[in-house]
Structure 1
Amino acid sequence: MDDYGDMLLRTACLLLKDRHSAEEAVQDTFIQAYAKMNQLQDPERLKAWLIRIVVNRCRMKQRTWSWRNTFPSGGSELQTSEDAGFTAGAEELFMVEWNNIRLAESIRNLDYVYRECLTLYYFHEMNIREISEQLNTPENTIKSRLARGRTLLKKMLEKEGHFL
């Protein structure tokens, strides 16, 4: 949990848009992983296996009508200055945090399928083949979702006056 908890929580926060639901999804992930540890065939793929479980948990939560209508928006975190190992001045740290907040808010406003692909691609640095396997979705669909997600994100940021 110490090794992967923060990474899984960031993923769940980005996907679910609600920290409390994300914490619940991560907790459920570790419970399920512990209960089904014998199904993990390759211990070196533990990280990918946990990501798959948390993404599936988030999908299950996202599908429930009451959840979608109860949590239309919420907070999430991207990368803090501590995570990045910065030793910059206060102004630089503020700008990094500010840009992360703006980016997180824009990502949260995307449809779930785009948030999911962008999160796995950029924040977990998974390639298209790995995302395809993880989501059990054709590679061309993943490429399309990434392209559309980037386009929508760019338009959103430009509309708000933010440029990457």
Structure 2
Amino acid sequence: MATQDTFHPTYDKEGIKELQSNPALAIETIMDMYGDEIKRLVFAYVKNSADTDDVTQEVFVTIYQKLNTFKGNSSLKSWIYSIAINKCKDYLRSWHARNKRLREKLITSSHTMKKEEITPEEQALQRDHSSELFRTVMDLPIKYREIIILFYFKELSTGEISKILDMNEATVRTRLTRGRQKLKECLSSEKGGVYRG
């Protein structure tokens, strides 16, 4: 199945220099090419629609500011993904995020029966995947979730993922295997719960 990525132009050293010579045009081009993808990737980390917008905006501001530092040693896509993932991890580590998560847990625990609306980001991630699979992936610990999303949803190789996450490729493979096992266990136990009736 062809993905949106298939149609992205690849930039050689000359193409990169051309982008860097006009940062305003470059950021517009990059946003057109990767905007939706990056937004979905950010949502997979922060799991919150409003904060997804804020973090995505920060990602593109950083790309604009740092475009002249890109040497072309990795693909443009890998470089953009690594910026996005670092921004997500900064967000998740921040005091603001920890406080907000605590407040949300308190609110949700008092409204457990209320069904939340599905956001556009959730719908986009669910498009080619069952909602059961989506929910299970989103419930995985971040170290497994990010690998599963990058490998299956973004169709990156373990080599690309290791560069983006600045992690040994063997670690990426191990986490991918463990993440798959955890997914399988969660999906099996959910199905078991349904069929026991």
> What is the TM-score when the length of structure 2 is the normalising length?
0.66
Partner of residue 46, structure 1: 76
SS of equivalent to 1:36: helix
- 2:56 — aligned with what? 26
- Alpha-carbon RMSD across the aligned residues, in angstroms, is 2.3
Q: Deviations over 1:66-105 (max 9, x none)?
A: 413523689652153xxxxxxxxxxxxxxx67x1x22221
Q: Residues 52-74 of structure 1, C-alpha deviation per residue, up to 9 Å, x if partnerless?
A: 11111111111124413523689
Size of the alignment, in residue pairs? 145
Distance 1:148 1:69, change over 3 A: farther
Equivalent residues of 1:14, 1:107 under 8 A apart: no
1:140 equivalent in structure 2: 170
Q: Aligned partners of 1:3, 1:149: CA distance in 2, in Å? A: 29
CA–CA distance in 2 between the matches of 1:153 and 1:68? 25
SS of the counterpart of 2:75? helix
More displaced stretch, 123-132 vs 36-45: 36-45
Which blocks of at least 5 consecutive residues in structure 1 are unaligned? 81-95
Identity %: 34
Q: Which runs of 5+ in 2 are unaligned?
A: 1-30, 106-115, 193-197
**Take 1:103 and 1:112, find their aligned partners in 2: how far apart are those partners?**
16
- What letter matches 2:75 in structure 1? R
Pair 28,109 (structure 1): closer, same or farther in 2 beyond 3 Å: same
What's 1:115 paired with? Answer: 145
**Secondary structure at the counterpart of residue 11 of structure 1:** helix
The match for 1:64 among 73, 77, 94 is: 94
Larger radius of gyration: 2
Aligned to 1:89: none
TM-score by structure 1 length? 0.78
